[in-house]
Amino acid sequence: MYTNAQYLAYNGKNDGIRCDINGVTSFVPLDPANTDYANLMALVAEGKLTIAPANP
Amino acid sequence: MSTLKTINVIHPSSAVNNIVNDASGNVAVGNTLAMGSSFKRNRIINGNMLIDQRNAGASVSTTAVTTTFFVDRWFANPTQTGKFTVQQNAGSVTPPTGFSYYLGAVSTSAYAVTAADYFYVSQSIEGYNFSDLGFGTASAKTITVSFVVYSSLTGTFAGSLRNYAGTRSYPFSYSIPVANTWTTISVTIPGDTSGTWVGSTNAGSAILFFSLGTGSTFSGTSGAWAAANYVSATGAVSVVGTSGATFYITGVQLEVGTKATPYEMQIYSDQLAQCQRYFAMTFSQGTAPANNTATTGALRGTARVINATSQIEPAANWRFPVTMRSSPTITLYSSGSGSTTAQWNNDGSTSYSANARSQFVSDSNADINNAGVVLTASVPWQIQATASAEL
């Protein structure tokens, strides 16, 4: 279960995603081979999750 | 049946004995030994259930549609919540000869499995460790899966070998004839010449399932490849159907060929490193990751000017013990004894910061720092972390 997803950025470029995975805050890298990242992208594609933009 | 009694075996053109037998049953090979399979032949990692980084021997409950890991590399993702628990050496029975640990699943209710239900314990196999078997090609190799199993129930149990995409499955069944007795099982599976199997990459290639109760939708004919998503053979025993029923397993091996060879024991450090490709932690081995439980092993960083906006924050680089399968997901845990979770802890006090985070993650290392909060400079801060690159 992925909730509260938000991009993290460094120098204006997205570097990862902070989200709660089963209620535990975790940091997911933007690596297509990472299972959590693949799951997040699948949920986004299905319209079941929105990832908030990074804080300015 | 015949017996050849001889000491030396030699090729007519060889100057030395190819094979020398002695009275103690030893065999000496005169030159290179070329085997049909190899040492390091087991494609299952932690098949003897020794490494348990996440839980340190504690019992784990299972949740619907949620991947939960037990001993390293072994997981479940059931359709219903709370129907079974899993624990290293659950029930504390004597492991089978040659083993010290087993994975133990215990049913927590008498649940009647519906058609779309599945309950199992399983392990995913990475493409790098499976692609040489040639599955999905005409030269697919026959493999043998072996394990030692124990249950409070008797009858026909089942499992399945499936491709990672869930489009090719080989359900298999096996018998446990005597309750509460370790039984050694061997299942030979012909290589799959059809379907799509991941090649030599870090992606998932196959999953080996041991069913604890599976409905008809995810059950298929035993002993045949099918273009379907099966985790069990039809008609198998449902462990979750009996409250308190047990299913214990160890010595799981998947190897090339038609013969189950003795379980391939690993040096502990080698086996731990194999597991750390998928999960690593700053906590000491034997300490399950949790907030405010341990300072030993914590990453330490002194707050300093760290980024382009000149914020003062603690930072530490965590270099993983081995190269991980992919860039891992990082989870942070407070060290020390406070009540705050997942934050830096000011060494020697209960003063916590906020906004701890992980950045610049690769398969070899990660930065753990802090965002947007000015912290006390020149003071040691500490934090614990885990990294998961599981399939």
At B301 the pLDDT is 84
Cβ-based contacts of B65 with chain A (< 8 Å)? 1
Q: For the segment B143-159, what is each residue's pLDDT rounded down to a tens digit? A: 999 999 999 999 999 99
Which of B23-27, B227-231, B304-308, B319-323 bottoms out in mean pLDDT, i.e. has the lowest?
Answer: B304-308
Report yes or no: B370 and B356 within 8 Å, Cβ to Cβ.
yes
At B374 the pLDDT is 65
Q: How many residues does chain A have?
A: 56
At B352 the pLDDT is 73
Of the candidates B206, B205, B226, B222, the one whose C-alpha atom is nearest the C-alpha of residue B214 is B222
At B314 the pLDDT is 83
At B372 the pLDDT is 66
Which residues on chain A place their C-beta less than 8 Å from a C-beta of chain B?
A: 1, 8, 10-11, 15-16, 18, 21-22, 24-31, 33-37, 55
ipTM confidence score:
0.98
Per-residue pLDDT for A40 more than 70? Answer: yes
Preferred mutation among B327, B333, B340, B388 to probe A, highest tally of A CBs within 10 A: B327
Q: For the segment B335-347, what is each residue's pLDDT rounded down to a tens digit? A: 877 777 898 888 6
Which of B26-30, B37-41, B88-92 bottoms out in mean pLDDT, i.e. has the lowest?
Answer: B37-41
Per-residue pLDDT for B349 more than 70? Answer: no
Per-residue pLDDT for B258 more than 90? Answer: yes
Q: Chain centroid to CA B31: how far? A: 37
Q: Do A31 and B325 touch (CB under 8 A)?
A: no
| Nearest residue, CB atoms, B330 vs list A10, A26, A55 | A26
Query: With b meaning 16 or more CB within 10 Å and e meaning fewer, what string describes B115-142?
Result: eebbbbbbbbbbbbbbbebebbeeebbe
Per-residue pLDDT for A3 more than 90? Answer: yes
HSE, side-chain direction, 13 A CA sphere, residue B136: 18
Q: Do A33 and B361 touch (CB under 8 A)?
A: no
Q: Do B66 and A25 touch (CB under 8 A)?
A: no
C-alpha distances (whole Å) from B195 to each of A13, B127, B140, B175, B218 are 40, 15, 11, 29, 18
Preferred mutation among A27, A30, A43 to probe B, highest tally of B CBs within 10 A: A27
Beta pairing partners, B299: B383
At B270 the pLDDT is 98
Per-residue pLDDT for B203 more than 80? Answer: yes
Residues B7-25 have a mean pLDDT of 95
At B307 the pLDDT is 58
B306 confidence band (pLDDT: 50, 70, 90): low
Chain A residue with CA closest to B386: the answer is A26
Instruction: Quote the CA–CA distance of B323 and A33 in Å, as a whole number.
Output: 14
The pair phi, psi for residue B350, each rounded to 5°, is -105, 20
| Nearest residue, CB atoms, B329 vs list A10, A15, A27 | A27
At B375 the pLDDT is 64
Please state, rounded to an integer, the average pLDDT across all residues of chain B.
Answer: 94
In chain B, pLDDT over 70 holds for what percent of residues? 95
Q: For the segment A5-24, what is each residue's pLDDT rounded down to a tens digit? A: 999 998 899 999 999 999 99
What residues of chain B, 222 to 281, have a C-beta less than 8 Å from chain A? none
Whether B322 has its CB under 8 Å from any CB of chain A: the answer is no
Strands B219-220 vs B232-233: parallel, antiparallel or unpaired = parallel
